[in-house]
Structure 1
Amino acid sequence: MKFIGRTVVLLLIVNILLVYMHYKQAGDVIAKDSGTPTYQQEIEVMNRSDALYIRHHFSGLSQGRHEIIWPEASADRSCYALDAISCGRLDASLTAFVDGDNEKQSISYKIPKENSESQAMLYHEPFVTLQGATVTSTLFHITDETRSGGMWVNGLEQVGSKQMDLIDYTFFQGSGGVQDLYWQQNSLPLVYEGEKLAVYGPAGHTEQFEAVDAALKTIGADHSAIVIDQTSIAVQSQRFIVSENADIDKASTLFLTSAMAARYSIPQQERLLVEVVASILGDKAIGAEQSRQAYDKLIVALTPEELALLKEVVNSKAGQEMNATILDDLIKEVTGFKTSYFKTAIQKDTADHLFLFEDTREVRVDGTSYADIGIVLKDGKSLYPAKSILSHLGYTVTANEQSLYIEKEGRKFRFPRKEPFYVYNERKFDVRTSPFEVLSDEVYFEESWFRRLFLLTIDKTAETIDIVNLSTVLEEVIE
């Protein structure tokens, strides 16, 4: 049972990594298409008792100036004189590589250790980056002069390792950059090794990882790694996750939503939308229960073809603003029908309301246009909102737990909420089906009932829906 539980958790994590890597790839494509500079890097790390000593080599640099972003914890920043020109573009203040033709430059620095006796260490953002530029590939060497053993993880593919008399050596390589570096004393076996995914942990069945690896390969994702170790701390980074227990699913979801929010410039208060967008791109509901509920309603409301098209449209918006109103508009673009589902979900902080489509045509009541009237399309029927329309025709609409009351001078209706009848001017009329529905706390009447009960004409064109009181029509005829 423990293995089954661990497998379920692991699959959830892998699914989240799959979605994140899909977004990351999209971001890299956008960077290249927009002319963002790129470069390759080789990082040599010497692990000593007091610090990580780093030699950092850059290649493929463009001729323009590159601002250097040093890690906050770095010390002893300097040129690394690999050859006569390896620091030729490094300015005197060590803040940038200045304009120049040499596409290769090298620097060195160290990251002091705070607790060298720990059984696990996470070095967060310990490596230099270049502002506004994208890393396309990384070669990564770790020479452990302490010979502490254990395992190193950075998300890149581990190509090889060797234990020697004086040092332990490990080599990684792969596409993309490296954000964090992790070490733990407990060395775990590699239980799955694919082209895009490595999983470390207790031995067990690995067939389920093959499909995940194939999916990562299909979208061209960078390599990622997962460590399952119940004795270690939980860690989440761009390219690897260390799982301590089942709570890692929640933690990794939070990590994913942060990445999605940054990618799409989603307002911080719209967490539900962040998780729904990730679900759309990953073809699977993730995140909090409310977000899962919203996504489940979306996939019921749309056809498979519409959902696939929505996924394409949402993916094409990577790097742009995204909010609830925009997502509603994208659904309209795909289906041809308006919805306010996600806008309402954010405003009311709930996903319990119905996912409804609205007629997009202009609604006019007695010749006046009203943008706030939404005629709902449900089960092949057009449903008209009672209060927002009838109030413009002189009616008052009120309700209690038992009945709905719609009244104006000379015309009074009472509609019981449960019994199959209605009362008009003190006269009772039996019905087989209720003439109204309550949707998300709003009362709607089916079109034929709406016409007949309230003496209306409803004329439709491709652009408009005209609702006219028959008494108004009669007055016009008399005149």
Structure 2
Amino acid sequence: MKVIIRLVFLLAAVNGGLVYLHYSQSVNANGEDADSGTFRQEIEVINRADGLYIRHHFYNLSEGRHEIIWPEESVERGCEAEDSSSCARLNDSNVAFEEGELDQQSVVYKLPKKTPLTGRKLFKKPFVVLQGAKPLTTVLHVTDEQSVGGMWVTGLERVGKENKERITYRLYRGVGFVNELYWQPEDVPLAYSSNKLTIFGEGIDKKYNDRLVKMLEAIGGNHVSVVLASGNRPLYAERFIVEKTGNISKVIKQVARMSVHSRFILQADEPSMSSMIASILGDAPVGTKAEQAAFTRLKKSISAEQYQTFRQNVQEKIGKKLSSSDLDQSLSKILAFDTQYFHMTMKEQRYNYPFLLLDPRTVLLDGEEVPEVKVIVKEDTSFYPAEELLSKMGYSMRSNEQSIYFDGPNRTYRFSKLEPFYVMNGSKFDYTEKPYTSINKKLYFDENWLRRIFFVLIDKSDETISIEQIEKMIKEMGKE
């Protein structure tokens, strides 16, 4: 037995050292040098009958003081060897690493278990955290001395395994930190593994696997682990998912949420933003049917060049706060028209909201500004809000199931809702193209029909849209 244990720990030490060196070089190559707020860590977990025994090693610590946040249920906290320099900076009360030049420190602690592992078990926040500091990389060793079988899962990539008669060993590594550890009695076979995604399961359609990989590569988020089996009870952790094999659509949405949240700072009251951002960066619809439809509507409404520029703008927001209003502003600059599309779909959760552009120019009626009149641009056609504009022109509006009526000082109109005609002062006029449309349950007139039917001139400059009533112009000219 002692020989087996020595063999496994030798393997752990060798693999751990190699992985640590590899990841240290990899992160440094990306320009992420350690500073006072970062470090690297290696965690050894040993599963025994009475608990999890943990050795936690910190590397590249700065010389400043680091307060230690111990797992709530942990006991036997302290040094593995009291006279060792590996914990020389640990103060007497075990609450902090004090200031010092030694950049490698280690602690040990134990998470007691009330009962042996039989059913599945999620260990929440089982590892030490340093207040205000962030681990750049994590190497995790899990050694089971109880021969419980099953499988251990974290959000880190599994890069090594060794099974002996009475002991098993698993090695994980990755960028960042996952403060969750999960065990289940069913050992699900590995289906796919990369530095961004690990999938455990059988009978998984390759197209879903490829879709997940493409999305994660586009977003560039943290590694995610997925465990799929027909008998699974769903579990959604910080960086891993346990789900039934048939619920792959839920898995894709959740992976998108995890990845986006690891790359952007989003608002809590905009729950669909993660699906929208994942769809934009991955260039494929993600999420519920309604969320997918909102993305598809966006992509169909702008040119390919505009869409690619918009995607680039979203990518440049990585690591920053991002809201629906930010997306609206970014798209408005590209299109040279205002839009509230993301606010209405993401913030208000009106997923059927049409893709509309608001002409940013000030509207003038007979020389006076009318701020309540917002011109909508849809499919390269300008539409004017009937009630807001015509009421300013002296018309009153009413309607029933058959017709829409406008009563003005000089003319009255009736537009049939059932047949293609309208009546002006008793004269009937047929049409082939409808002069008005309903947008968000409001009536709008096509710009060309507005000119023709209501006798107005429309002149546009870079700053304004000027509407003049011809009759009023003639009347004013007669006074001169």
Number of the residue aligned with 1:445? 445
Number of the residue aligned with 1:302? 302
Native 8 Å contact 1:261 1:267 kept in 2 = no
Change (3 A) 1:235 1:168: same
Distance 1:214 1:54 in 2: 36
Structure 2, unmatched stretches of 5+, are: 1-27
Distance 2:211 2:327 in 1: 30
Native 8 Å contact 1:257 1:274 kept in 2 = yes
Deviation digits for residues 141-173 of structure 1 (CA, Å, limit 9, x no counterpart)? 122121212221213333332234553222222
Moved more, 194-203 or 229-238: 194-203
Change (3 A) 1:412 1:261: farther
Number of the residue aligned with 1:282? 282
Kindly provide the amino acid, as one letter, of the partner of residue 46 in structure 2.
Answer: M
TM-score scaled by structure 2? 0.84
Q: Does 1:314 align with 2:314?
A: yes
Kindly provide the amino acid, as one letter, of the partner of residue 357 in structure 2.
Answer: F
Kindly provide the amino acid, as one letter, of the partner of residue 226 in structure 1.
Answer: V
Number of the residue aligned with 1:43? 43
Aligned-residue offset at 1:325: 3.0
Native 8 Å contact 1:86 1:106 kept in 2 = yes
Aligned-residue offset at 1:386: 1.3
Percent of residue pairs bearing the same amino acid type: 37
Moved more, 462-471 or 89-98: 89-98
SS in structure 1 opposite 2:272?
helix
Please show how residues 197-208 of structure 1 align to structure 2 within 5 Å.
197-202=197-202
Structure 1, unmatched stretches of 5+, are: 1-27
Kindly provide the amino acid, as one letter, of the partner of residue 268 in structure 1.
Answer: A
Number of the residue aligned with 1:375? 375
Distance 2:199 2:70 in 1: 31
Native 8 Å contact 1:143 1:169 kept in 2 = yes
TM-score scaled by structure 1? 0.84
Number of the residue aligned with 2:291? 291
Number of the residue aligned with 1:167? 167
Native 8 Å contact 1:71 1:127 kept in 2 = yes
Kindly provide the amino acid, as one letter, of the partner of residue 179 in structure 1.
Answer: N
Please show how residues 289-438 of structure 1 align to structure 2 within 5 Å.
289-345=289-345, 349-438=349-438
Native 8 Å contact 2:157 2:194 kept in 1 = no
Native 8 Å contact 1:191 1:206 kept in 2 = no
Aligned-residue offset at 1:347: 7.1
Aligned-residue offset at 1:345: 3.5
Change (3 A) 1:311 1:33: farther
Number of the residue aligned with 2:13? none
SS in structure 2 opposite 1:86?
helix
Please show how residues 38-187 of structure 1 align to structure 2 within 5 Å.
38-81=38-81, 84-164=84-164, 166-187=166-187
Kindly provide the amino acid, as one letter, of the partner of residue 184 in structure 1.
Answer: Q
Distance 1:432 1:222 in 2: 56
Kindly provide the amino acid, as one letter, of the partner of residue 293 in structure 1.
Answer: A
Change (3 A) 1:341 1:396: farther
Q: CA RMSD in A?
A: 3.2
Aligned-residue offset at 1:42: 0.7
Change (3 A) 1:291 1:36: farther
Aligned-residue offset at 1:85: 2.2
Aligned-residue offset at 1:389: 1.4
Change (3 A) 1:116 1:401: farther
Change (3 A) 1:88 1:364: farther
Kindly provide the amino acid, as one letter, of the partner of residue 45 in structure 1.
Answer: V
Kindly provide the amino acid, as one letter, of the partner of residue 314 in structure 1.
Answer: V
Moved more, 366-375 or 147-156: 366-375
Distance 2:431 2:384 in 1: 19
Moved more, 212-221 or 151-160: 212-221
Higher RCO (CA-CA < 8 Å; seq separation 6+): 1
Kindly provide the amino acid, as one letter, of the partner of residue 352 in structure 1.
Answer: N
Distance 1:401 1:346 in 2: 33
Number of residue pairs the alignment of both structures matches: 452
Change (3 A) 1:114 1:463: farther
